[in-house]
Structure 1
């Protein structure tokens, strides 16, 4: 009888662990989807620029407006997830992300002058993106105990990194159909991912916070009053390296196609190399700095120096393999900066202030 009871307990734990793994797989697909939002488009910027007859600045807005909309929406959706629950925000956000892709795709397909509609779709996508990865991390924190939480967070970060690396290759593959298909692919991916989160994850009983939005926003303003300069400098450093890296990737994508006739999957693989190094080095830098508990500011300065130096030499170099080398160095520098910025920003606030 006792043996049967022990076997039943083991069976229950095994079932629980299996369910937990399935839920984590469903949740890890969300940040993977989010990082596809920008990187999938970069290899095909020359095609988009030519088809829409727009300049480089207008092409850049396809990324800028997406990222800006996401950044502005994150605090609001974070507050709503604290108040009403994580899953009730994540699932609609993923669908809104896909809806933005449909708006951009239909505009590009049905209209001759579709640039404005595409931009509107990108803004909608950005709003949806704000309710994906950040809220998933909060939900993982709710679901997993301290012993399993770091492992679960590692899976989420790994999915994020994988998404960054495969996105240029995936974008190049989808664009073999048409560059317009890129926008529709977001919706195609969003549907099964939202269904997976809805049916395969079970959120703990949620106790909605009573705090009002106005009070929540006042707390954010208070954080900036107390630590504004250091936070703004850190955030600006992170924004700068991402802006430079993706801007240079876009420029190099144009050069590889026009001057060296490198297109499709070949170009996507080349562009994926620096992103692979950025993701890998972000992870390694994070592990090292976590052990040391210091050197964050030194890492940011070092990373910015590396990125700036690579950017200085780039105009004087004309060979494709040298482009790859310089971009890889920029990826390494970006990895230094991004991990350090993330740690400094999160450690500048208390756990209550970081909620949402």
Structure 2
């Protein structure tokens, strides 16, 4: 990897870490919020849901804007919005007798800020590096940062709630502003056109400014939509499959974690201890993502087969939980750790296939659809998990195993990389 861009990548990696903390950090605090505000469990769950729903709606818009106006110009205001909304939520909790509506409004604004920040990370990494190996490694690090945020979230959220239930709202601005400063100062936006291919001018002469060709000028929105539509007509099969695989993978992660969280509550495991147990399978997801990103390099077959192999491994673990019906804590945590490790192996390959397979001009828009599908999986996991748990544990894990198998088959048959493109 280019040494001079390591700070760029480290700064970019703070974005998914911050956005994950901003959402998942509240999950272990929801029971405390419910008691403090005198609200139902359903109303408390909306603190998570509205964040994801707003992000889902606006991600395609911010992806398009990042293609038109530049990645940093969209990311930086998004991070500021997340910070401001977090501060407002904390202030509302302190100042209002009935702050529920204000808190929901703040969470909606944070969802909008997340839509302008997190999804644009993938195309930004693709823009930043020239070598495909560096892109794959960078995406692996970004995915690791995302999953590391999930590892930290239950522990940090539980620890902050020991002080007061609204403490996590005040922590969000601190994380967001740190990310804002790092991105603003360390991330150098790549130039849109580099006709020299990155080579230095041997005579150290200042290159003459050339008039932009028509295809280098900014397209009108209508022309851009036509370009995206043509792209989906030509490559829709593998693009739609990639979107679906990413969304189902997030459903598997959050559906599994919801069951584990509920089971720990029933077994009187609370607070930081509960967060530490939840962190075990998430740590496996994080570690697997990191090493998978390094292993795949620029090899598109590795991207595909790594994803397929990881999903097969996850299917086997989830099937073992369904078929045996065992509920022992060690067995449950062990199988979920194996399942999430398998999913972690697959995620960097999906990110890399999508980022490297799409032209830079449309990369932000196309990857935004992928990010939206992942948010759909995040939003769907807990409520669908709750419905299935209402029937039985077996109903949940048979469903998760079947969904994971479908994910693996989609990867096998619908994503077909060749030496040139997926």
TM-score by length of 1: 0.77
Give the drift of 1:95.
0.7
Q: Please, which moves more after superposition, 234-243 or 173-182?
A: 234-243
Matched, 1:175 2:161: yes
Corresponding residue number in structure 1 for 2:11: 26
Q: Please, which moves more after superposition, 105-114 or 264-273?
A: 105-114
C-alpha spacing 1:93/1:297, structure 2 compared with 1 (3 Å): closer
Q: Please, which moves more after superposition, 191-200 or 268-277?
A: 191-200
Give the drift of 1:271.
0.9
Matched, 1:271 2:278: yes
Matched, 1:192 2:178: yes
Preserved contact between residue 140 and residue 290 of structure 2 (Cα < 8 Å): no
What's the secondary structure of 1:90's corresponding residue? helix
Looking at secondary structure, tell me which structure has more helix per residue: 1
Q: Please, which moves more after superposition, 71-80 or 288-297?
A: 288-297
What's the secondary structure of 1:295's corresponding residue? helix
| Equivalence map 1:5-44=2 (5 Å) | 20-44=5-29
Corresponding residue number in structure 2 for 1:93: 78
Give the drift of 1:270.
0.9
Alpha-carbon separation, structure 2, partners of 1:54 and 1:241: 31
| Equivalence map 1:245-324=2 (5 Å) | 245-257=253-265, 259-286=266-293, 291=299, 292-293=301-302, 294-295=304-305, 298-299=308-309, 302=312, 305-306=315-316, 308-309=318-319, 312=322, 316-324=325-333
Alpha-carbon separation, structure 1, partners of 2:234 and 2:46: 33
Alpha-carbon separation, structure 2, partners of 1:232 and 1:75: 15
Number of corresponding residues: 338
Alpha-carbon separation, structure 1, partners of 2:323 and 2:94: 40
C-alpha spacing 1:73/1:202, structure 2 compared with 1 (3 Å): same
C-alpha spacing 1:55/1:229, structure 2 compared with 1 (3 Å): farther
Matched, 1:77 2:62: yes
C-alpha spacing 1:50/1:217, structure 2 compared with 1 (3 Å): farther
Preserved contact between residue 49 and residue 55 of structure 1 (Cα < 8 Å): yes
User: What is the RMSD computed on CA atoms of the aligned residues?
Assistant: 3.6
Give the drift of 1:38.
2.6
Matched, 1:331 2:340: yes
| Equivalence map 1:207-218=2 (5 Å) | 210-218=218-226
Alpha-carbon separation, structure 2, partners of 1:189 and 1:55: 29
C-alpha spacing 1:77/1:60, structure 2 compared with 1 (3 Å): same
What are structure 2's unaligned runs of at least 5 residues?
194-215, 366-422
2:111 to 126, 132, 148: 126
Alpha-carbon separation, structure 1, partners of 2:128 and 2:351: 22
Give the drift of 1:107.
4.0
Q: Deviations over 1:221-246 (max 9, x none)?
A: 44444454654444233323323422
C-alpha spacing 1:57/1:295, structure 2 compared with 1 (3 Å): farther
Q: Please, which moves more after superposition, 174-183 or 46-55?
A: 46-55
Alpha-carbon separation, structure 1, partners of 2:261 and 2:185: 40
Preserved contact between residue 307 and residue 333 of structure 1 (Cα < 8 Å): no
Alpha-carbon separation, structure 2, partners of 1:189 and 1:343: 27
Alpha-carbon separation, structure 2, partners of 1:230 and 1:23: 30
What are structure 1's unaligned runs of at least 5 residues?
1-15
